[in-house]
Amino acid sequence: MDRRLIMKNTNIVQIYGKHAVLAALQNTARKHVKLTTTNDLYEKYYDQISPYKLKVELKTEREINSLYPEAVHQGLILHTSSVFLYGIESINKITSKNHSCIFMLDQITDPQNIGAIVRSALAFGVDAIIIPEHNSPNETPSLAKASSGAIEQVPVVKVTNLINTINYLKKQNYWVAGLDSNSDKYIDKSSMSNKTVFILGAEGKGLRKLTLENCDFVVKIMISDKIDSINVSNAAAITMYEYYKEFGIAK
């Protein structure tokens, strides 16, 4: 493996909250450093924590609140390695499949939106989420919490260049559909295939010009004319459902 990929995957992150922490503990791709919690919670979740033989740092609730004043931590903070992947080569097994759906996020910077998109991706059988290395967040506590454990099962891949990645995926027989509210075509089966990449842009800005130019299709979601747009994580979930309705989950 590329040395750069190995170095990237050793980044240590913090994960907060019951569901996110307990899901992360079960992920063998992570290397756990320590768990910070209270004595009461350690006893409550002992059966779920003890099999992993990690260092447990016991603090009072007041001490934890002082250490993590802005976190909705629920008394559980896991220090562990990031599961973000780097480079399109990291999902070769996915891209070689005959049935696959991938989502690409063009400079979406809100970790909670990305976490919500990852959660929907797990619900609708999306194979991976691709984001640019620059102008997108690293794995953060809020992203992991918003995914409600889905980040442990859906690969999130950072790439250095979205256009190069689009071209690579086209060579792997993917059709590429960009979402743009200015399109005159609604999303339907004709803009999808067994192997489809959907690209969503940042709210307000939308897809960048060069990204749009490299799409095979540009489509939009049908919504009421009483509103101009919807949250990007909601748009992603609707798009995922449309694909799932037509093609189901790849086996």
Q: How far apart are CA 56 and CA 78, in angstroms?
A: 9
Q: How far is CA 50 from the centre of its chain?
A: 28
Q: Which residues pair with 158 in a beta bridge?
A: 86, 131
Question: How deeply is 171 buried, as exposed, middle or buried, from its count of CB atoms within 10 A (0-12, 13-18, 19+)?
Answer: exposed
Please report the pLDDT score of residue 68 as a whole number.
87
- The pTM (predicted TM-score) of the whole model is 0.89
Per-residue pLDDT, averaged over 169-181, amounts to: 96
Please report the pLDDT score of residue 4 as a whole number.
37
Domains of the chain: 3-81 (3.30.1330.30), 85-247 (3.40.1280.10)
Residue 184: is its pLDDT beyond 60? yes
| CA–CA distances in Å: residue 174 to residues 32, 83, 102, 120, 165 | 36, 25, 9, 21, 11
pLDDT band at 10 (very low <50, low <70, confident <90, very high): low
pLDDT band at 227 (very low <50, low <70, confident <90, very high): confident
